């Protein structure tokens, strides 16, 4: 008799867990955009864009994670792209950048097609180092999904990225990172 009760209890637990997981929804963007700009006045622009960034947003927990392959960043100048991958980011050793975080006090049910400013907190990992990120992003409803746009600043020093003296004055000490995800 106890075996039968145990089986029934496990079945009920499985049903409850399965139901609670199906009410949560994960929204995904496999073609998100992350760009950065580190230009100094009077010198060639230092900027790149990656339009193949994957992002996942969990509507139940408000957690978001993203992954950008470093070799996916495209520069206007191919030599700059080569130096970025080989000398600065060392993309063979550190092939990806990640972000894991959470939208704070976000209610997806209150979202509309008008942009809402929401706090995003998390951790960015790049070049074997991590940095806490705390920024405001704009979120708005788009059909069955959401669009998330924002920007934040980092420094090459945050990620132990060495800039050779010969180009040190040509690269900004503060790098502006922007992101845009269309999560469906």
pLDDT at 43: 92
Chain centre distance of CA 90: 20
Q: What percent of the chain has pLDDT over 90?
A: 82
List Cα–Cα distances, 57 to 60, 112, 147, 155, in angstroms: 9, 17, 11, 26
For 25-183, CATH gives 2.40.128.110
pLDDT at 67: 98
pLDDT at 165: 87
Q: What percent of the chain has pLDDT over 70?
A: 87
pTM: 0.85
Mean per-residue pLDDT over the chain, rounded: 89
User: What are the DSSP calls for 96-164, one per residue?
Assistant: EEEEEEEEET--GGG--SS-EEEEEEEEEEETTEEEEEEEEEEEEEETTEEEEEEEEEE-GGGGT----
pLDDT in tens, the chain (184 residues): 444 444 343 344 444 444 444 456 999 999 999 999 999 988 999 999 999 999 999 999 999 999 999 999 999 999 999 999 999 999 999 999 999 999 999 999 999 999 999 999 999 999 999 999 999 999 999 999 999 999 999 999 999 999 988 899 999 999 999 999 999 9
pLDDT tens sequence across 80-108: 999 999 999 999 999 999 999 999 999 99
Rounded to the nearest 5°, which phi and psi values hold at 62?
Answer: 65, 20
Rounded to the nearest 5°, which phi and psi values hold at 39?
Answer: -85, 150
Joined tokens for residue 95: 């092939």
């Amino acid at each position: 008799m106890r075996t039968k009760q145990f089986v029934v209890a496990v079945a009920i637990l499985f049903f409850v867990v399965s139901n609670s997981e199906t009410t949560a929804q994960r929204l995904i963007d496999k073609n998100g955009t992350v760009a950065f700009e580190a230009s100094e006045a009077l010198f060639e622009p230092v900027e790149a864009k990656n339009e193949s960034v994957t992002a996942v947003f969990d509507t139940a927990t408000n957690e978001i994670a993203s992954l950008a392959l470093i070799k996916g960043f495209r520069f206007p100048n191919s030599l700059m792209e080569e130096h970025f991958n080989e000398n600065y980011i060392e993309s063979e050793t550190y092939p990806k950048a990640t972000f894991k975080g959470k939208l704070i006090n976000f209610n997806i049910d209150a979202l509309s097609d008008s942009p809402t400013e929401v706090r995003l907190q998390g951790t960015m990992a790049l070049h074997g180092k991590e940095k806490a990120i705390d920024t405001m992003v704009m979120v708005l409803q788009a059909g069955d999904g959401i669009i998330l746009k924002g920007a934040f600043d980092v420094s090459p020093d945050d990620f132990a990225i060495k800039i050779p003296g010969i180009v040190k004055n040509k690269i900004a000490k503060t790098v502006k990172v922007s992101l845009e995800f269309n999560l469906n």
